[in-house]
């Protein structure tokens, strides 16, 4: 009996020790960023990076980073992009999934495979030719163009929706059709509301992706005076006129904050959503 | 007019209309932003061309060059680091997920802290880890606290014996928590009664994991393994944002990016992309076959298991088997 | 601001891609619009600042790489300029990664009225984007004619340099003196000996700081090739047509000597310990304080290093330590050039002309940034005051018909001279790891270069 107790205690120690260690490693790089962001340039030069700042109310770095990287505009743009992309990609993604799941028609399998294959294509390598297309459409330096592009490059959300539809009984549709509903009506009135969990999943996955996307944003939204996004605002700190680490860290923290706040507020939904994707995926 | 309305609302027409309208936008986007560029890229790979100026058709020369250059396939070897990293990542994620699926004090906080890196933007990751690995900065300081002497520590991004591990570790840092949350979700979906039954049978933690948790989430583990391995072949971001591919950390895509932009060899870079795509396709296919054979995938039993069972059934000559769930 | 930035230029995904359009689509568009006000024939030399066009009304947008002085120096410029031209408003847009982004911006047409012309624009394309600023012959009466070469096509000049850089080494004089280096080294061996002495000085963390992690800084090393030969034709003939140009000349000159200097410095531990995590912004106060001995960068860097702390007087500039027949050279070349949008309205073009002329002749921008002014007879900048009898070397333009030869061979060989800094980066990596010696490296470069020469018809 005693031995079992010992074993249990030992296990508990191992368990919490590893958990603490894992969490420590996960936050350490970011915590150091926070520390550095609160140091004055002189303090930064003189102290070890792990030494806590003298004052936690030294906001100068944040003010500078906010101004230099034009973050007010960046946040505005990112919010617009986020809302539009999420709205349209969820709408079109779920519509496509509905069609693919509910109707048998020639080409159904082909279309599924086309989407699947698309997810294997190397996105970075194709930007050369994508750029030519964006250019000929006149969508360089256009929020609209970027939003359309971001809506189009998504495969995972379609799969999540398809999987979700599989679990919604077809008899529901049939009943509605009997009542004189059109197929459009079935989708918008009956099924879309039922999709809520899947929509949350997609919002999270896609939302994180869109918010943090920098490669294409940098490529297609070049006029940073007007079209900077939160992720590309960080480019301000690179290059020949780069910046001190104090400002960089402050900038990094600023870009992370909204994600952090949303995360803390909607923790449950986020975990639930991801798990949903997992179980179905 | 009435006829028209009737016609348009008739089930059959309505269905076709619905299919067409609902599919139009996604398919148009897929064509314009994926398949047309893909086709163009295939075209580029047969030309000797820069971004500007004339192009010259060279047939398969670019492909021949991909295979004869020593830097391309050498870069693919780096994928081994990332594959190893993804095993570590999945292992850790599974371990923490199992811990956190049972009652744990402060579980929510641990979960949140470990998940958080997933939300950090790629550029920020670059900044954060350059800082993290700088000599005498974060990592070195922490290791000194643990009693290491700075003189015995390597230069994390310079020493070629360790720098690829340093870079790959950042990707573990970033995605472990997300994997963990996925696994927790999968574990939670296991019927709670099974645990209770197991507890009554006196199963310990390990037994529970081995016989209940692991089998029930094997599908998602396999799926993540497949993604991890194909992902490891096409790693781009970590070296791109942290080391710029210097000191032997240039992965296949980083080398490709350099060829395309610093040397303007668009044709060669396109050929490289296609070669990698073929490799990824083959790898995916092999893995699928492999896992189907040994573990089973989705709702299909493992082929090996099916064979065994069939053999058993044949031996027993019982006629009630063969139900493929 | 710097030649080095060219490296970013070519690296630029964006820039490069755009140019594919510069070659096709946008060209037609540009020509189409040009016809509308084809009669525009004003040139810089015809304008008398403060007298002509003082009543012109225009709003100008100016794309600049100098993001650091938009809110300070450029604001003062606008105020000053508006004293002469009260109805011209100028809005600056700073682009952090200018080299990377500007080529792409050009193709979109949405780039304002004045910009700094990227080097990636082909000469025969200049007229598609930019207003002709004058005839080189005519402008050459007041400006240094050779420095207009870069953006002159068939005698017409489309860009005027904002400043001209000399290539040397920025160093901390006090550190050199305190370490017992009395004379500025003139040969690679003297220079390495000096660095060794400095290394014994405990306060110094790196006698030579490469700033490797910043990437574009490594590309600076390529800029010393022509000075290492003392031959103004080397870049555009010696290198492009010469046989195995990277071979060791055994006399401490030539490209080999330049890169060998880097190799030896790294191998002997005279550079920073960890090149992968260098901090560009942090390096400026370090050299100012004397923790760094020197950096191999263009003269523009002198001002930044001088102003980065309280010890500005310690910062000095010296020529690259290679002597050809006992004589030292420093290559001099234009930094970014001002260019005016060919699609702007007539008033905007006139206003832009006035502003560009004012910037070049009156603003004092070049001197303030540590460069030479393109205007004949303007004083040498502080950075070059200690250059003494060093000969300033301007590369001759490529012979007619071979304007693209260097770029073609350079791209084909993947050596990225003045573009990607592939050679100095490989040198540093090899020296750090001890994986290859200089003979092996130079052999490899020679092979790549020779193959590329053959591919481009040079026998």
What's the pLDDT band for C140 if we cut at 50, 70, 90?
Answer: very high
Query: Residue holding tokens 């301000």?
Result: A236
DSSP code for A243: -
Q: Tell whether the model's pLDDT for residue A180 goes beyond 70.
A: yes
Determine, for residues C10 and B262 on separate chains, whether the beta-carbon distance falls below 8 Å.
yes
Whether residue B261 is predicted with pLDDT greater than 90 in this model: the reply is no
Indicate the range of A63-72, B91-100, B196-205 predicted with least confidence.
B196-205
Residue with more model confidence, B297 or C141: C141
In A43-72, the residues whose Cβ lies within 8 Å of chain C are 45
Contacts of C214 in chain A (CB under 8 A): 240, 242
Same domain, C244 and C281: yes
Q: How far is CA B94 from the centre of its chain?
A: 16
Contact B110 A23 (CB under 8 A): yes
Q: Same structural domain for residues C22 and C77?
A: yes
User: Contact C414/B257, CB-based, under 8 Å?
Assistant: no
Based on the fold, state whether residues C342 and C311 are members of the same structural domain.
no
> Measured between alpha carbons, how far is C325 from C306 in angstroms, rounded to an integer?
32
Do the strands C152-153 and C292-295 form a parallel or antiparallel pair, or are they unpaired? unpaired
Q: What proportion of chain B, given as a percentage, has pLDDT over 90?
A: 35
Asked whether residue A262 is domain-assigned, the answer is yes
Mutate to test the interface with A, among B31, B34, B36, B256 (most CBs of A within 10 A): B34
Yes or no, beta carbons of A252 and B127 under 8 Å apart = yes
Q: Are C293 and C195 in contact (CB under 8 A)?
A: yes
Question: Between chains, do C432 and B133 touch, taking CB under 8 Å as contact?
Answer: no
Residue A214: inside a domain: yes
DSSP state of C69: G
Q: What is the mean pLDDT of residues A95-107?
A: 90
| Confidence at C17, pLDDT banded by 50, 70, 90 | very low
Beta bridge partners of C170: C295, C317
Query: Which stretch of DSSP H or E encloses residue B285?
Result: helix B266-294
Most confident of the ranges C118-122, C164-168, C233-237, C354-358: C354-358
Range with the poorest average pLDDT among A226-240, B305-319, C263-277, C429-443: B305-319
Tokens of C455: 């591919």
A184/B contact by beta carbon, under 8 A: yes
| Sequence-ordered alpha helix ranges (H) in A69-195 | 71-102, 108-118, 123-136, 143-152, 156-166, 170-178, 183-185, 192-194
Give B 280-319 residues with CB within 8 A of chain C: none
* Sequence-ordered list of residues with C-beta below 8 angstroms from that of A83, at least 6 positions apart, any chain: none
Does B130 sit within 8 Å of C414, measured CB to CB? no
Indicate whether C35 pLDDT > 50.
no
DSSP codes, B222-263: HHHHHHHHHHHHT--HHHHHHTTTTTTT--HHHHHHHHHHTS
Instruction: Pick the most confident of A159-163, B239-243, C385-389.
Output: B239-243
Note whether C23 contacts B: Cβ–Cβ < 8 A: yes
H/E element, B5: helix B2-9
SS (H, E, C) C215-231: CHHHHHHHHHCCCCCCC
User: Is B104 close to A15, i.e. CB distance below 8 A?
Assistant: yes
Instruction: Look at residue A264 and tell me if it is in a domain.
Output: yes
Question: B19 and A276: CB-CB below 8 Å?
Answer: no
Q: Do B246 and C276 touch (CB under 8 A)?
A: yes
pLDDT at residue C257 is higher than 90: yes
Say whether A240 and C8 touch across the interface (CB within 8 A): yes
pLDDT of residue C34: 40
* Predicted local distance difference test score (pLDDT) of residue C131: 94
Strongest mean pLDDT among A78-82, A93-97, A216-220, B294-298: A78-82
Which residue do the tokens 């009996």 mark?
A1
Q: Going along C149-216, which residue ranges are E strands?
A: 152-153, 156-157, 160-161, 164-166, 168-172, 206-208
Stretch C356-380: mean pLDDT: 89
Tokens of C100: 């990377």
Please indicate, yes or no, whether residues A97 and A175 belong to a single structural domain of this protein.
yes
| Chains touching C (3+ CB pairs < 8 Å) | A, B
Q: Do B52 and C10 touch (CB under 8 A)?
A: no
Identify the DSSP state of C56.
-
C274 touches chain B (CB under 8 A): yes
| Residue B49 DSSP SS3 | strand
Q: Which of A155-164, B286-295, C132-141, C276-285 has the lowest mean pLDDT?
A: B286-295
Neighbours of chain A (3+ CB pairs under 8 A): B, C
SS3 at position C333:
strand
Decide if A247 is inside a domain: no
- Within an 8 Å CB–CB cutoff, is residue B59 touching chain A? no
Percentage of residues in chain A having pLDDT higher than 70? 95
> In b/e form, how buried is each residue of A58-93, taking b as 16+ CB within 10 angstroms?
eeebbebbbebbbbebbbebbeebbebbbebbbbbb
Of B11, B177, B256, the CB nearest to A26: B177
Provide mean pLDDT across the span B36-64. Answer: 87
Q: Does B279 score more than 80 pLDDT?
A: yes
Q: Report CA torsion sign: C106, C107, C109, C110.
A: negative
**B-chain residues within 8 Å CB-CB of C432?**
158, 247
| E strand or H helix at B63 | helix B61-68
Residues A88 and A196 in one domain: yes
CB count, 10 Å around CB of A51? 13
% of chain A beyond a pLDDT of 90: 31
The reply to whether A27 and A111 lie within a common domain is no
Is the same domain home to A123 and A210? yes
The SS3 assignment for C157 reads strand
Please answer yes or no on whether A30 and B117 come within 8 Å at the CB atom: yes
- Residue B26 has its nearest CB partner, among A28, A93, A277, at A93
Examine the domain organization and report whether C131 and C89 are in the same domain: yes
Q: Which residue, among A34, A129, A138, would best test binding to B if mutated, counting the most B CBs under 10 Å from its CB? A: A129
In this structure, what token pair is assigned to residue A195?
């999709």
pLDDT at A225 over 50: yes
Residue C124: is its pLDDT beyond 70? yes
Q: Are residues C365 and C250 in the same domain?
A: no
Q: Specify if A249 maps to a domain.
A: no
- Is A248 part of any domain? no
> What's the whole-number mean pLDDT along residues C240-260?
93
Q: Domain of residue A27: give its range.
A: 2-58
Distance of residue A239 Cα from the nearest chain C Cα, in angstroms: 6
Tens of pLDDT, residue by residue over C212-223, are 988 888 988 999
Q: Are residues C117 and C173 in the same domain?
A: no
pLDDT band of B2, cuts 50, 70, 90: low
SS3 C94: strand
Indicate the number of domains in chain C: 2
Contacts of A45 in chain C (CB under 8 A): 285
SS3 A57: coil
B41, B72, B126, B158: which to substitute to probe chain C, counting the most C Cβ within 10 Å?
Answer: B158
Contacts of C425 in chain B (CB under 8 A): 246
Q: Which domains does chain B have, with CATH numbers?
A: 2-66 (no CATH), 68-123+164-316 (1.10.3720.10)
A32: left (phi over 0), alpha (psi -120 to 50) or beta: alpha
Q: Give the number of domains in chain A.
A: 2
Chain C environment of A136 (Cβ under 8 Å): 25
Are C248 and C354 in the same domain?
no
The minimal CB distance from A99 to the residues B22, B131, B220 is found for B22
Beta-carbon separation of A125 and B273 below 8 A: yes
User: Is some CB atom of chain A closer than 8 A to the CB atom of B144?
Assistant: no
Quote the distance between the C-alpha of residue B133 and its chain's center.
25
Cβ contact C17–A236 (<8 Å) = no
What does residue A104 show for φ and ψ, rounded to 5 degrees?
-95, 125
Rounded CA-CA distance B169/B163 in Å is: 10
For residue A225, the chain C residue with the least C-alpha distance is C93
Domain CATH for A143: 1.10.3720.10
Q: Looking at residue A277, what is its pLDDT?
A: 60
CA–CA distance, B149 with B144 (Å, rounded to integer): 6
pLDDT for C397 equals 83
Clarify whether residues A215 and A163 are in a common domain. yes
The rounded distance, in Å, linking the Cα atoms of B239 and B232 is 12
- We report the CATH number of the domain holding residue C314 as 3.40.190.10
Quick one: C147 and C215 in the same domain?
no
Q: What is the pLDDT of residue C4?
A: 41
Alpha carbon of B160 to those of A267, B74, C120, C429: distances in Å?
A: 40, 14, 35, 10
**Which residues 102-121 of A have a C-beta within 8 angstroms of B?**
103, 105, 111, 114-115, 118, 120-121
- Does B261 lie at the interface with C, CB-CB under 8 angstroms? yes
- Distance (Å) from the alpha carbon of B295 to chain A's nearest alpha carbon: 17
For residue A87, give every residue at least 6 positions away whose Cβ sits within 8 Å of its Cβ, in sequence order, or none: none
- Residues A15 and A79 reside in one and the same domain: no
Determine, yes or no, domain membership for A241.
no
pLDDT for res C100? 64
* Chain A residues with beta carbon closer than 8 angstroms to that of C21: 132, 135
Q: Look at residue A252 and tell me if it is in a domain.
A: no
User: Can you state the angle between helices B11-30 and A143-152, rounded to 10 degrees?
Assistant: 110
What average pLDDT does the structure give for chain B?
A: 84
Based on the domain organization, do C223 and C266 belong to the same domain? yes
Shared domain for A101 and A198, answered yes or no, is yes
| Range in B204-208, C398-402, C443-447 the model is least confident about | B204-208
d(CA C251, CA C256): 10
- Comparing C298 with C105, the larger pLDDT belongs to C298
Per the CB < 8 A criterion, the answer to whether C60 and C351 are in contact is yes
The pLDDT assigned to A255 comes to: 93
Measured between CB atoms, which of C104, C279, C280 is closest to A222? C104
pLDDT at C11 over 60: no
Query: What pLDDT shows up at residue C416?
Result: 87
CA-wise closest residue to C413 among C445, C456, C448, C446: C448
B175/B95 Cα distance (integer angstroms): 14
| Contact yes or no for A114 and B35 at CB 8 A | yes
Helices (H), C268-320: 280-289, 300-306
C447 close to B (CB below 8 A):
no
Residues A97 and A176 in one domain: yes
pLDDT category of residue A86 using cuts at 50, 70 and 90: very high
Beta pairing partners, C64: C94
In whole angstroms, give the CA distance from residue A47 to residue A43.
6
Q: Burial code of C108-123, b = ≥16 C-beta within 10 A, e = fewer? A: bbebbbbbbbbbbbbe
- Say which of B52, B243, B247 has its CB closest to residue C22: B52
**Does residue B298 surpass a pLDDT of 70?**
no
pLDDT tier at C26, thresholds 50, 70, 90: very low
**What integer pLDDT is reported at residue C23 of this predicted model?**
35
Q: Residue A235's closest chain C neighbor by CA?
A: C96
C178-198 pLDDT per residue, tens:
999 988 999 999 999 999 999
**How confident is the model at residue A243, as a pLDDT?**
62
A19 and A140 share one domain? no
Flag if B120 and A98 touch (Cβ within 8 Å): no
C291 interfacial to chain B (CB closer than 8 Å): no
Instruction: Classify each residue of B255-287 as buried b or exposed e, where b means 16 or more C-beta atoms within 10 Å of its C-beta.
Output: bbbbbbbbbbbbbbbbbbbbbbbebbeebbeeb
**C458 — phi, psi (to 5°)?**
-95, 125
Establish how many alpha carbons lie within 13 A of residue C273's alpha carbon, considering only the half-sphere containing its beta carbon. Answer: 11
Residues 6+ apart with CB under 8 A from A158: A93, A96, A97, A100, A115, B26
| C127, C168: one domain | no
B98: its two tokens: 């199992």
ipTM of predicted complex: 0.87
Beta bridge partners of A112: none
Reply yes or no on whether the pLDDT at A181 is more than 60: yes
pLDDT digits (tens, 9 = 90+) for A7-44: 888 988 999 999 999 999 999 999 999 999 999 888 88
SS3 category, C137: helix
Distance CA C69, CA C333 (A): 23
Report the first-to-last Cα separation within chain C, whole angstroms: 37
* A window 257-276, beta carbon within 8 A of B: 259-260, 263-264, 267, 270-272, 274-276
Which pLDDT tens digit goes with each residue over A227-246? Answer: 999 999 888 787 655 567 88
Whether residue C319 sits in one domain with residue C187: yes
Q: Same domain, yes or no, for C109 and C186?
A: no
- Which has the closest alpha carbon to C61: C368, C361, C369, C345? C345
Helix then strand count (H, E) for chain B reads 18, 2
Domain span including residue C12 = 5-163+336-371
Note the pLDDT tens digit of each residue in B109-124.
999 999 999 999 988 9
């Amino acid at each position: 009996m005693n031995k079992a107790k010992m074993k249990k205690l030992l296990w508990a120690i191992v368990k919490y020790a590893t958990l603490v260690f894992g969490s420590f490693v996960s936050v350490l790089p970011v915590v150091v960023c926070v520390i550095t962001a609160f140091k004055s340039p002189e303090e930064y030069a003189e102290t070890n990076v792990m030494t806590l700042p003298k004052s936690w109310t030294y906001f100068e770095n944040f003010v500078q980073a906010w101004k230099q990287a034009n973050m007010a505009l960046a946040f505005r743009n990112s919010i617009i992009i986020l809302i539009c992309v999420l709205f349209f990609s969820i709408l079109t993604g779920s519509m496509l999934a509905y069609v693919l799941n509910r109707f048998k028609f020639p080409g159904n399998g082909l279309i599924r495979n086309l989407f699947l294959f698309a997810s294997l294509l190397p996105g970075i390598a194709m930007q050369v030719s994508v750029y030519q297309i964006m250019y000929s459409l006149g969508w360089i330096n256009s929020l609209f163009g970027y939003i359309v592009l971001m809506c189009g490059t998504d495969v995972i959300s379609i799969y999540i929706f398809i999987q979700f539809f599989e679990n919604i009984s077809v008899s529901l549709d049939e009943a509605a059709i009997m009542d004189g509903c059109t197929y459009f009506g079935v989708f918008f009135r009956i099924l879309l509301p039922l999709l809520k969990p899947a929509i949350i999943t997609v919002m999270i996955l896609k939302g994180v992706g869109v918010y943090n996307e920098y490669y294409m944003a940098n490529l297609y939204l070049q006029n940073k005076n007007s079209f900077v996004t939160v992720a590309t605002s960080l480019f301000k700190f690179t290059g020949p006129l780069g910046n001190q680490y104090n400002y960089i860290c402050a900038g990094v923290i600023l870009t992370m904050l909204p994600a952090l706040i949303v995360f803390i507020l909607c923790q449950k939904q986020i975990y639930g959503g991801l798990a949903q994707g997992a179980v179905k995926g | 007019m009435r006829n028209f309305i009737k016609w348009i609302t008739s089930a059959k027409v309505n269905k076709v209309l619905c299919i067409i309208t609902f599919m139009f936008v996604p398919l148009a986007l897929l064509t314009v932003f994926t398949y047309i560029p893909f086709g163009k890229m295939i075209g580029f790979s047969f030309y000797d061309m820069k971004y500007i100026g004339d192009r010259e058709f060279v047939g398969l020369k670019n492909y021949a060059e991909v295979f004869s250059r020593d830097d391309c396939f050498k870069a693919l070897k780096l994928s081994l680091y990332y594959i190893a990293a993804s095993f570590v990542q999945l292992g850790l994620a599974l371990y923490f997920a199992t811990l956190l699926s049972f009652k744990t004090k402060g579980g929510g906080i641990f979960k949140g802290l470990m998940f958080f890196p997933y939300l950090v933007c790629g550029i920020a990751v670059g900044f954060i880890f350059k800082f993290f690995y700088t000599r005498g900065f974060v990592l070195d300081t922490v290791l000194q606290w643990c009693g290491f002497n700075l003189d015995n520590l390597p230069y994390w991004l310079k020493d070629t014996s360790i720098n690829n591990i340093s870079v790959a570790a950042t990707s573990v840092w970033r995605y472990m928590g997300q994997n963990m949350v996925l696994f927790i979700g999968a574990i939670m979906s296991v019927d709670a009664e099974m645990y209770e039954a197991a507890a009554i049978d006196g199963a310990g933690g390990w037994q529970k994991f081995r016989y209940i948790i692991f089998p029930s989430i094997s599908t998602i583990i396999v799926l993540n393994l497949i993604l991890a391995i194909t992902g490891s072949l096409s790693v781009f971001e970590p070296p791109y944002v942290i080391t710029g591919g210097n000191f032997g950390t240039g992965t296949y895509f980083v080398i490709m990016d350099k060829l395309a932009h610093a040397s303007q060899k668009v044709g060669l870079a396109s050929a490289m992309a296609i070669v990698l795509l073929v490799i990824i396709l083959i790898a995916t296919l092999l893995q699928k076959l492999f896992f189907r054979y040994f573990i089973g995938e989705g709702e299909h039993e493992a082929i090996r298991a099916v064979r065994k069972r069939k053999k058993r059934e044949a031996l027993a000559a019982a006629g009630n088997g063969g139900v493929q769930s | 601001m710097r030649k080095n930035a060219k490296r970013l230029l070519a690296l630029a995904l964006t820039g490069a891609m755009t140019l594919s359009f510069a070659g096709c689509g946008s060209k037609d568009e540009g020509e189409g619009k040009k016809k509308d006000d084809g009669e525009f024939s004003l040139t810089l030399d015809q304008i008398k600042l403060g007298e002509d066009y003082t009543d012109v009304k225009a709003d100008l947008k100016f794309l600049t790489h100098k993001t650091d002085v938009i809110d300070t120096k450029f604001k003062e410029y606008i105020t000053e300029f508006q004293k002469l031209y009260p109805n011209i408003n100028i809005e600056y847009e700073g682009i952090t990664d200018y080299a990377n982004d500007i080529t792409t911006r050009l193709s979109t047409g949405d780039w304002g009225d004045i910009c700094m012309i990227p080097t990636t624009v082909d000469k025969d394309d200049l007229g598609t984007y930019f207003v002709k600023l004058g005839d080189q012959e005519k402008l050459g009466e007041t400006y240094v004619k050779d420095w207009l070469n870069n953006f002159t096509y068939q005698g017409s000049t489309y860009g005027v340099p904002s400043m001209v850089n000399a290539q040397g080494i920025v160093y901390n004089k006090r550190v050199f003196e305190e370490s017992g280096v009395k004379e500025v080294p003139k040969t690679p061996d003297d220079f390495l000996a000096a660095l060794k002495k400095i290394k014994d000085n405990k306060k110094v963390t790196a006698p030579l700081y490469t700033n490797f992690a910043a990437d574009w800084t490594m590309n600076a090393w390529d800029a010393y090739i022509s000075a290492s030969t003392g031959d103004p034709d080397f870049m555009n003939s010696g290198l492009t047509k010469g046989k195995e140009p990277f071979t060791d000349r055994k006399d401490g000159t030539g490209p080999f000597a330049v890169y060998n200097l880097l190799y030896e410095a790294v191998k002997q531990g005279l550079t920073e310990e960890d090149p992968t995590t260098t901090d560009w912004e942090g390096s400026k106060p370090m050299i100012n304080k004397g923790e760094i001995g020197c950096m191999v960068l263009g003269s523009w860097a002198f001002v930044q290093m001088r102003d980065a702390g309280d010890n500005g007087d310690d910062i000095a500039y010296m020529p690259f330590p290679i002597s050809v027949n006992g004589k030292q050279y420093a290559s001099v070349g234009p930094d970014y050039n001002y260019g005016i949008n060919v699609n702007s309205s007539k008033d905007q073009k006139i206003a832009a002309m006035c502003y560009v002329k004012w910037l070049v002749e009156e603003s004092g921008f070049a001197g303030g940034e540590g460069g030479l002014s393109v205007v004949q007879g303007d004083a040498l900048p502080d950075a070059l005051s200690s250059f003494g009898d060093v000969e300033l070397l301007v590369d001759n333009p490529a012979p007619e018909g071979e304007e693209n030869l260097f770029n073609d061979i350079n791209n084909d060989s993947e050596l990225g001279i003045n573009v990607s800094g592939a050679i100095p980066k490989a040198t540093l990596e090899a020296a750090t790891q001890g994986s290859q010696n200089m003979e092996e490296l130079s052999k490899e470069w020679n092979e790549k270069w020779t193959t590329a020469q053959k591919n481009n018809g040079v026998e």
